[in-house]
């Protein structure tokens, strides 16, 4: 039977889908990809439209009793992530209203937690409507994610500063940040464990392929997106796609602080596929090697940041005046 797998339509997942295509080992009878932005996939996993996929890490926290995680897959960074940007014309300490993207639950919770607990700010939030420039006419700042976040960074609205949420988090806590986890429903892991583990293996190997063939992935993405090769190379370097213990610890700290900020009713535990699926194993393969040029898989702070046909430290903002 086919496993329906969520497909995030952002550049951050391109190495995975490029790896799947280039490896050529995917059996279309085994996997069907279903497209959506993170908040779509959050809903689809819970209502049974998809069986396995990348969801907002905060969505796991809110439904953790019904879900289990892959130990082998995530979308994370240590420091700057490039594609999650708070765009503003005001100093960070003077922001009192923010227009929020509707595409990401984790980024919204992360921003609210940082502004409340790190900066002690009372902020009014509203929906992001229209362009970033339109949003800034009515709000002090706008939260952008994905390809829109990258666009704000590399093609900035005039006279704005971009604050990278991954950087703000790392400066505050010293920890990596996990934006998306790969999850499935508990009953699916129990009832169809063999198929699930086979799909997880295929996805992990494809992530490894993309990591080990960075120039090939960049060449494939070049021309499909508006970002140049330097941006693509850096972006695929700052992202981490596996889920080692250090990143699990960072995720738990995020849950603790989100709970303290009133964004979660409780702090969840992390439960994994191998704990409920008979064929699961936490050590099917070792951690993949980091992308070339990325020390130990961690993002640095210097430099700048089409998919296949499937269904307390002062923050360092980036000003549009000097570019990045």
How confident is the model over 208-226, as pLDDT tens digits?
999 899 999 999 999 889 9
What is the average pLDDT across 242-250? Answer: 96
Domains, the chain, in order of start with CATH, read: 3-76+176-291 (3.40.190.10), 84-175+312-319 (3.40.190.10)
The answer on pLDDT for 307 being more than 50 is: no
Give phi and psi for 87, each to the nearest 5: -105, 130
Q: Give strand pairing partners of 143.
A: 86
Distance (Å, rounded) from C-alpha 231 to C-alpha 149?
A: 13
pLDDT per position as a tens digit, 185-203: 999 999 999 999 999 999 9
pLDDT at 319: 62
Cα 37–Cα 43–Cα 47 angle in degrees, nearest 5: 140
- Model pTM score: 0.85
* Cβ pair 237, 293 in contact under 8 A: yes
The answer on pLDDT for 282 being more than 70 is: no
The answer on pLDDT for 134 being more than 90 is: yes
Based on the number of CB atoms within 10 Å of its own CB, is 246 exposed (0-12), middle (13-18) or buried (19 or more)?
middle
* Cβ pair 304, 154 in contact under 8 A: yes
Tell me which residue has tokens 């961690």.
298
The answer on pLDDT for 34 being more than 60 is: yes
* Residue closest to 236 by CA, chosen among 305, 171, 190: 305
* Residue closest to 132 by CA, chosen among 101, 91, 95, 104: 101
Q: If pLDDT is split at 50, 70 and 90, which confidence band does 255 have?
A: very high
pLDDT at 69: 98
């Amino acid at each position: 039977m086919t496993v329906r797998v969520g497909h995030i339509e952002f550049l951050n997942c391109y190495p995975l889908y490029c790896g799947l295509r280039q490896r050529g080992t995917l059996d279309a009878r085994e996997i069907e990809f279903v497209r959506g932005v993170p908040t779509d996939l959050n809903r689809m996993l819970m209502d049974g439209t998809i069986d396995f996929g990348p969801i907002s890490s905060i969505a796991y926290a809110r439904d953790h009793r019904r879900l289990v995680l892959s130990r082998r897959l995530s979308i994370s960074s240590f420091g700057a992530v490039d594609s999650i940007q708070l765009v503003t014309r005001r100093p960070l300490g003077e922001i009192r209203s923010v227009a929020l993207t509707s595409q990401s639950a984790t980024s919204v919770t992360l921003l609210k937690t940082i502004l409340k607990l790190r900066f002690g700010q009372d902020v009014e939030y509203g929906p992001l409507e229209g362009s970033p420039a339109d949003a800034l006419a009515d709000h002090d700042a706008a939260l952008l994610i994905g390809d829109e976040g990258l666009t704000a960074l590399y093609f900035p609205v005039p006279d704005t500063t971009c604050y990278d949420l991954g950087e703000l988090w790392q400066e505050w806590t010293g920890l990596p940040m996990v934006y998306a986890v790969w999850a499935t429903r508990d009953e699916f892991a129990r009832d169809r464990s063999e198929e699930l583990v086979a799909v997880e293996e295929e996805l992990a190997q494809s992530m490894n392929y993309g990591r080990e063939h960075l120039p090939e992935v960049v060449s494939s993405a070049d021309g499909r997106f508006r970002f140049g090769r330097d941006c693509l190379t850096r972006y695929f370097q700052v992202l981490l796609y596996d889920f080692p213990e250090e990143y699990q610890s960072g995720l738990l700290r995020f849950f603790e602080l989100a709970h303290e900020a009133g964004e979660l009713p409780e702090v969840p535990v992390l439960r994994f596929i191998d704990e409920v699926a008979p064929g699961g194993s936490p050590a099917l393969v070792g951690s993949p090697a980091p992308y070339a040029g990325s020390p130990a898989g961690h993002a640095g702070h210097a430099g700048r940041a089409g998919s296949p046909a499937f269904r307390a430290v002062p923050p360092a903002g980036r000003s549009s005046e000097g570019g990045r």
